Structure 1
Amino acid sequence: MVAKLLSVDELFAKRSLQEYLKKMETEYSECLRAVNSDMTEEQCSEDDLRTKRTKVSLLGLLVQSIRELDTKQKEMAETETLLKDDDPALRELAELESEECLQDIQDLRQKILDLLIPEDESDPFDLVLEVTAGVGGQEAMLFTDEVFDMYNGYAQHHGWSFDILEHAPSEIGGLRHASASISGPQSYKRMKFEAGVHRVQRVPKTEKQGRMHTSTMTVAVLPQPTEVSFTINTKDLKIETKRASGAGGQHVNTTDSAVRIVHLPTGVVAECQQERSQIKNKEKAMKALRAKLYSMKLEEETSKRYDQRKIQIGTKGRSEKIRTYNFPQDRVTDHRISMSLHDIKSFLLGEDLLDQMNSSLQEFSNQETLAELLEESNQEGS
């Protein structure tokens, strides 16, 4: 089924949303009445009052916005009657007021939708990005290198840091596998929808007959928790050092700077040899390990769609795709929301076009979350 993005007006036209907003208003009023009244312990326990105070605090801004919207909509209705007045000056004034009113209504509706969508607990985090070549041999590795560069460009576009943790090149300049730590405001929130299988359709540089090939690569986006929010027991770690090596087995340096860390209880491994300093490599490997273990923890605790690394990576097959980069048609299509953008060269710069795609994915994700919220509310009420 093709996903359909609804406009803000279409969402507010839904009866289920209107009923839910009325329910929130009623709940807020009842809690506020209970908190402000002199209820005895028999009527309301301390725990109940604490719960009600919390609800008043959480719902306050939402209900204020709902009431402001109601007032603006009444103003709009009054203004519309003046648009039919015989006096041209009055009609002109009403038109100006109508435009302002309409903008206020749009802003308030968007604000209400934003307040209704609960934030993903991982949204404030930085991230660890992993890219891996899939089906398609050397061509898949070449495309993996281009996508990795695209995300480096995306990080620069947003002013985020892009710190390479692993980088395993192929013989002809592509990438077998690579990972990077990306840090900056809203980095995970904006990048999480990139996770999955990316498919490329084009005539490879290595193709002599001029035939179009289909290749794949996979992207994993792992939230990078802070040390405070997620700690690892050092007793559970096995840390190994070795000499860093480059393509063809040549030593990058003559010291044991490469670091490999194994988390013994889970068997999860992270390594880094990008830096000449063993201490810096250890820090980077720990970042990657923390992200991998945190992602596993999320898998166990929740079934949220974008938190599951297995769902993100899939089987690397040609059919399990989230996005197709079709070079002959100069088109990038995201299959989750059936959205196509043209100009692949600009898209692969990782700037405005990728931003546009990600904003639409965020919007659709919010609408899905809202639909689930309304459905749950409906089931509770029935």
Structure 2
Amino acid sequence: MTKRTLDEWLDYQLRVHPREIDLGLDRVREVWQRMGAPNAPRSVIVGGTNGKGSTVAFLEAMLKAAGYRVGAYTSPHLLVYNERVRIDGADASDAELCAAFERIEQARGEIELTYFEFGTLAALDLFARADLDVALLEVGLGGRLDATNVVDADAAIVTTVDLDHQSWLGPDRDSIGVEKAGIARADRPLIVGELDPPEALLATVRRIGARMQRNGVDYHVHRDAQDWRWQHRDGTRLTLPYPALDAPAQLSNAAAAIAVLHALGEALPCTEHALAEGVRTARVRGRLQRLAASPELIVDVAHNPQAARELAQWLDRHPVDGPVHAVFGALDDKDVGGVYAALGDRIARWHLASLSAETPRGLSAQAAALALPDKAAYDAHDDVAGALRAAHRAAPARIVAFGSFFLVAAVLRRMNGPSAPNP
């Protein structure tokens, strides 16, 4: 029998389960146990509404600077699926992923797995075979019933809690917080990066019995002109460089990463130098990434109101001499009205892109326009390329292309391809 290519495997996985999302641990746990419950020696799981990928990037950079072999599982990917699984700083190869999928297929029998569950099990399998010191797992959706939560992680982080995926996680911050708190484990560290977390999250963590550490309570961030300080209530003080990752929330993400390593103590010791080097060198594609200078083109995966508020703060801190235009596209379950409200009058014109060519879940530009404020200037386009061309023809001082990962990926492909000089 001819072996499947990676693309063939991914296409096959979309057909195995009748639903794209089917939260629950029973199926994935059964297959995982049939595979021998492969796991790295130590693991950290990172959940939250926003900031998960950046926090994983900080942890990965800090641990690598300390000399550890690190695996990182993140989602979604931007350009290629291989980005989801990194082993000692390198994306997993097609051959490695296909071999892992073969092992999963042999183990699952008649159990139906989702696309994400296949990917999670593949990451766990590859990490267990890679002689790692630690694996970093980013939650895909929620936490309590997410496939990554099959692992009893040594420590956990909840970055932020805000409204997103309400149809799956609940209508308010309290119900969403309960789902995200489900990654905590009794007598193991759980870091809360949010300064004002919902009370239901805190109550759930206490009920589980995790050793909670909170931003603004157990550890603090102090900004100075040239650097910043991380200080713990036990007297630990660190002086650190500002992150290259530029959003206002990145300091909280870096601080949460430091807090979890501090809580793990001798299990994963890191010097102050390694922590500083990690803060300084961590990078994540698609997070306020500058692609061009004239006009300035920034891409960002801000796809919900909380992330849009962060983008608004960044725009206020980095003004330009001239209008700012937005290229925007979203999935059909997103609160686009909340995104528009967060940006307010910072955007002079909206170039709305339909994402139906990128994903069946894409929101049409016409539907996205219905939520715009009455006086907002906009034009609607059938695809990302058309919206980007219109934005460049308008020649604003800055273009911010943001929203869904699918939109950012389409912009990155276009700017990195042969047509990059003339988008």
- TM-score (normalised: structure 2): 0.22
Structure whose residues are more often helix by fraction: 1
Q: Bigger radius of gyration, 1 or 2?
A: 1
Structure 1 length-normalised TM = 0.24
